Amino acid sequence: MIFFTVVMATGIVALALREAGAADASWVLAAIAALTYAALLARRPSGPRSRGEAVGWFAFVAASEVLSSLSRWHALSVVLWAGGLAAWLVIVPVVLGTPRLEDERVRGSWLLAVVATNSLAVAAAPIASRAHDGVLLGFAYAWWLCALAIYARLAWLMLGRIWRRELGIDDLHGDHWVAMGALAISTLAGVRLLAAATTLDWSGGIHDATRALTIALWIGALCWLPALVASETWRLRQRPLYTHERWSTVFPLGMLAVASHGLALAAGVAAASVFFDVFTPLSAAVWLATAVGLLASLSRTPASAPDRPRAP
C-alpha cells in the first residue's frame, strides 16, 4: 500500500500547482497520480489483516479523496469519495479492534489515520455544498472532529516516545513529517467546511468556531516546522538513501501549501499567502527529487521482489 502514498503526494502537489496557475505542470502530475492509482487498483490488493496493514490502507483512503478533490468532474469526485469512505469503514474496525495500542511503536505513519479521516471531510464538504446537503455537511464536521481526536491520541503517544528517548534515526525516514501534514490537512478540512457552511447559511457560532479552530490548526502545523527541519539536519549527517517513506514528506509540504492558500481565501488570513508562495515550489522540487529516487530504487530492484517498507 506504500505506493498509494505516491498518489497522495503527487495529487496534492498537482492541486497546489493548479491553484498557483501552473496548469500544464498540474495536469502532468494529475495524470501521473490517476494512472498510478488505476494501476494499483488493477492489482486488486487484499484487505487489511492486521493493524499495521490497516494503517497502510489509510493511504488508499487519502489517495482516493485527494483525487476526488482534484477531479473536475463532479460525478467522478462523488465516486472516488464514496470508494474512500467504504475503505475507511472497513479499516477502522481493524485498527480499533486490536488491543494495547500503547505497547506499539507509534510513529509518523500512524498519523495516516488522521489524514484519511480528514480527507473524507475535505472531499465531502464541496459535495455537500454543491448538493446543498446539510446532513452530509454534518457528517463532514463529524469526520473533522474525529480526526482531531485521533491526532490528539497518537500525538500523545508519540510525544511519550520522545520523552522516553525511544525515537531514533530509524524513525526519521520521512514519515515523521506527517505530524505536520496531519494538522495541515485538518486546516484544509476546516477551510472546506467553512466555505460549505457559508454556502448553506450555517452562520453564527458554528461559522465563527470553525474559522477560529482552522486558524489555530494552521498555526499548529507551522509550529512543527522548526523541529522537522532540525530532524532533517540530523538525518543528513547519516548520508541517507532514498526510502519510500519520503513520499510522506512530499505530501505534508504540498498539503501545507494548499491549506495556506485556502486559509487566505476563506478565512482572510493574508499571511497564509506567503506560505503558499513558498511551499508550492518547494513541494514541487521535493516531489521531483523523490520521484528520481523512486525511479532509481525501482531500477535497482527486481520487478518480482520490490522493496517493502517496514510495517508501521
Give the sign of the dihedral formed by CA 73, CA 79, CA 80, CA 82. Answer: positive
CATH superfamily membership of 3-298: Voltage-dependent anion channel (1.50.10.150)
Report the distance separating Cα 176 and Cα 107, nearest Å.
7
Q: Report which DSSP code applies to 304.
A: T
Q: Which comes out higher in pLDDT, residue 300 or 286?
A: 286
Q: Report which DSSP code applies to 177.
A: G
Q: Report which DSSP code applies to 22.
A: -
Q: Hey, what's the cell of 41?
A: 487498483
pLDDT (tens digit per residue) in 170-229: 555 667 888 899 999 999 999 999 999 999 988 778 889 999 999 999 999 999 999 888
**Among 142, 108, 106, which residue's Cα sits nearest to residue 124?**
142
pLDDT (tens digit per residue) in 136-174: 999 999 999 999 998 988 877 776 666 665 555 555 566
Q: Which residue has the cell 506504500?
A: 2
Domain boundaries, the chain: 3-298
Average pLDDT over residues 29-39: 95
DSSP-assigned letters across all residues of 201-236: T--THHHHHHHHHHHHHHHHHHHHHHHHHHHHHHHH
Report the distance separating Cα 148 and Cα 118, nearest Å.
8
Total-model pTM: 0.88
Q: Report which DSSP code applies to 302.
A: -
